[in-house]
Structure 1
């Protein structure tokens, strides 16, 4: 390589360095700002997560404190006093309704059934809470639900893929048995006994009902 070529290369490298430093002086703040934004975003996310944990813990503590009340009416009143929105509010209404339904018939029981109906019809609540409220209302003793409404509601809840299908199917089978439809009840209990998605205790109950109805060993039959 000649001296001229070496000189040209040195000049070129110097020009490139000057140009690079110029870019850094002009635009380097963008990189710094990006790093600052990234760190700030991570800190904000951690703060939000911490706040969410604290809120959830406080909400859970409120429920536990309410459930420590001495009797069902006091527990229902304490649960109703907890401030909540959305799914949390729906859950509180379900818990309070459960406490009220455990007591004698009266205004509190009527309100509990109305609250369950309200949650079941609330489109802003997650489907799992709506289905649970509907099932709780339909299955409540002395709820005064029309037989056709009960049958239609349970049939909807027993559709494949619904979260409380096994419980709804058990209620349907019991209704058929009460109406004298032994074969229909037996078929439903067999379906329930063979449903691997159903809780084991529920499958066991179905198996026992199959035996009681003279349907065999209680295992699912095809």
Structure 2
């Protein structure tokens, strides 16, 4: 056998030994750490199953809440409808709609204090999105009428607030109820000229300005007249 044949035989033997060592190390590694892979696989599969189960449970609970609310609203008797809504859960973000509906029923039944309490409860829960909290707070202030806190309304009427225009209108009504006509007219004029005001609200504002003796088309001119000295 030539030198090249011996060399090839040696290389083949070395390769076989290397491969055997590699397989032995791999088998040893799997015997020692293979259970970790099994746990990871089980965790992934179990996690996916849990997510799917949780999602189906959430959807089922939402459907049950919706059906319960609809059943309560379809009750023809006013007292029974109010009682049915009162019995429904109103905690957390999921209960916001129920709470708002309950407050509306309480107001219709003449239970203004109960409606205000229901709305203030929603407004005071920090885990509820701000847009819902602001809506509940505004409705509570509207239910208070002339006794509503002007500072609270001013906070809701701040530029960029989701219900700023409605809060400004309500603040104008509070000013009128408390004999602060000039402040009310200023607010109403600002609303009339605001591009974000819808047609329904604009009609209300125009009607208020007219009732105050300040026709919408003349509002700016009547308040902006400045006497001109003689001779100019």
After TM superposition, the score normalised by the length of structure 1 is 0.76
- Is it true that 1:115 corresponds to 2:118 in the alignment? yes
- Is it true that 1:42 corresponds to 2:35 in the alignment? no
Residue 134 (structure 1) aligns with: 137
Residue 187 (structure 1) aligns with: 189
Which deviations, in whole Å up to 9, do the C-alpha atoms of 1:46-101 show, x marking residues without a partner?
00111111111101111111111114433221100113422344543332121121
Deviation of 1:209 (Å):
5.4
**Take 1:151 and 1:22, find their aligned partners in 2: how far apart are those partners?**
77
**Take 1:14 and 1:166, find their aligned partners in 2: how far apart are those partners?**
80
SS at match of 1:83: coil
Residue 6 (structure 1) aligns with: 12
Deviation of 1:139 (Å):
1.2
Further displaced range: 21-30 or 209-218:
209-218
**Take 2:35 and 2:174, find their aligned partners in 1: how far apart are those partners?**
73
Using a 3 Å threshold, how does the CA distance of structure 1 residues 25 and 121 change in structure 2: closer, same or farther?
closer
Uncovered stretches (5+) of structure 1, i.e. residues with no partner: none
Q: Aligned to 1:98, which of 93, 104, 109?
A: 104
Using a 3 Å threshold, how does the CA distance of structure 1 residues 31 and 41 change in structure 2: closer, same or farther?
same
After TM superposition, the score normalised by the length of structure 2 is 0.73
Pairwise CA RMSD: 3.1
Uncovered stretches (5+) of structure 2, i.e. residues with no partner: 220-232
Aligned residues: 207
Residue 158 (structure 2) aligns with: 159
Q: Is the 8 A contact 2:134 2:156 kept in 1?
A: yes
**Take 1:44 and 1:98, find their aligned partners in 2: how far apart are those partners?**
39
**Take 2:114 and 2:90, find their aligned partners in 1: how far apart are those partners?**
19
Using a 3 Å threshold, how does the CA distance of structure 1 residues 208 and 187 change in structure 2: closer, same or farther?
closer
**Take 1:154 and 1:129, find their aligned partners in 2: how far apart are those partners?**
16
Q: Is the 8 A contact 2:209 2:215 kept in 1?
A: yes
Deviation of 1:153 (Å):
1.6
Which deviations, in whole Å up to 9, do the C-alpha atoms of 1:160-201 show, x marking residues without a partner?
33322221122223445664226403432145x323xx6x44
**Take 2:117 and 2:40, find their aligned partners in 1: how far apart are those partners?**
54
**Take 2:121 and 2:13, find their aligned partners in 1: how far apart are those partners?**
86
SS at match of 1:49: helix
SS at match of 1:70: coil
Which deviations, in whole Å up to 9, do the C-alpha atoms of 1:113-150 show, x marking residues without a partner?
3333344344554433332222112212xx3653xx43
SS at match of 2:98: helix
Residue 39 (structure 2) aligns with: 33
